[in-house]
Amino acid sequence: MQFTAKEICVLLNGELEGNPDETVFTLSKIEEGVRGSLSFLSNPKYEPYLYTTEASVVIVNKNLQPERQVNTTLIKVDDAYSAFSVLLERYNQIKLNKSGIEQPSFIHPSATMGDQCYVGAFAYIGANARIGKNVKIYPQVYIGDNVTIDDNSTLFSGSKIYSDCTIGKHVIIHSGAVIGSDGFGFAPQADGSYNKVAQIGNVIIEDHVEVGSNTSIDRATIGSTVIRKGVKLDNLIQIAHNVEVGNNTVIASQSGISGSTKVGEQCIIGGQVGIVGHISIARGSQINAKSGISKSITEENKQWNGLPVSPFRDSLKMQAVWKKGSKNWNSFSRISNKLHPNLPKDFVLVGFLNTFAFKFF
């Protein structure tokens, strides 16, 4: 699909400098621009490319004052990065604007479908499923019995939604994600074996949530595992049964949350964070990558780091202390060996630790 510079300028409410009839049909980085492409410049570091790029149209900030002649058409806006993100979203909507039901696919006779839906080949939609308007279900998606998917949601190829789960509006679920698989519940027996505890709850995903590829969200034992409005989950995340994740929380890849833990609103959780079960994380908590959370965090809007987790600045101070201590250990050990060559190593270590603790604590 082609657009003129004038059409893009009107969409972005910008100011045009150059040829209003310049046509673009693809997007590019400014350093890789070719004729017919649209690019943007927001980082001053990339300004030299503005004078050499072959992109037909470039979106720039209004306060930009070119140092040399520019050979491309410019669209000036208040924030070039935000404006370009608007175009990316519009481009993505056009690219993914599919409709109709492909064959072979299976839709149970008792399932209901809203208008303008897309169902890709080899998709399965179970009994009593309720699919809203403009829902996109890509090939090889599995939707179990009694599932509800609200308007304008997208399920990419290979995602699986187990029975009885509820998906809200404008939700995006990426390939390989599994929603509603059994929680990890097993009862230990006297003989050392384990009996499976039936997981009869479901998963509720509210509006405007995005779930990354190969992420797994377990159904509740009883009740619901709940992902609140606006949550963004990266790829390869494990969320266990009966967990609740608060509004607008973001979680990075390879993190895991154990059962029945409650994560507050607007938290930021880095990659490979591990959180034990049956605790709560206060609103606005920021948890650094690879941290381990073994007890509840009750103070709101604080940064945390380490294993076990501690306040972020405290953890940095401790790292600095131990780094300095490791350097001093070699010197302390050499001096001790010269003064007392037959002294046991345990005594040397105790002496160093006492000296170190007295100096720094």
pLDDT tens readout for residues 296-321: 999 999 999 987 776 766 666 656 65
pTM value surpassing 0.75: yes
Read off the amino acid at residue 141. V
**DSSP 3-state of 84:** helix
Give residue 327's pLDDT.
Answer: 57
Give residue 331's pLDDT.
Answer: 59
Give residue 178's pLDDT.
Answer: 98
218-257 pLDDT per residue, tens: 999 999 999 999 999 999 999 999 999 999 999 999 999 9
> 203, exposed or middle or buried, with CB in 10 Å at 0-12, 13-18, 19+?
buried
Those residues of the chain that have pLDDT short of 70 are 310, 312-361
The active-site residue, picked from 108, 174, 208, 241, is 241
Helix (H) / strand (E) containing 251: strand 250-251
What is the DSSP secondary structure assignment for residue 220, as one 8-state letter? P
Is position 108 annotated as part of the catalytic site?
Answer: no
What span, in angstroms and rounded, lies between the C-alpha atoms of 45 and 317? 34
Nearest to 286 by CA among 267, 273, 299: 267
| Token representation of residue 107 | 């839709």
Give residue 353's pLDDT.
Answer: 47
What are the phi and psi torsion angles at 159 (to 5°)?
Answer: -75, 150
What are the phi and psi torsion angles at 181 (to 5°)?
Answer: -70, 165
What span, in angstroms and rounded, lies between the C-alpha atoms of 39 and 53? 9
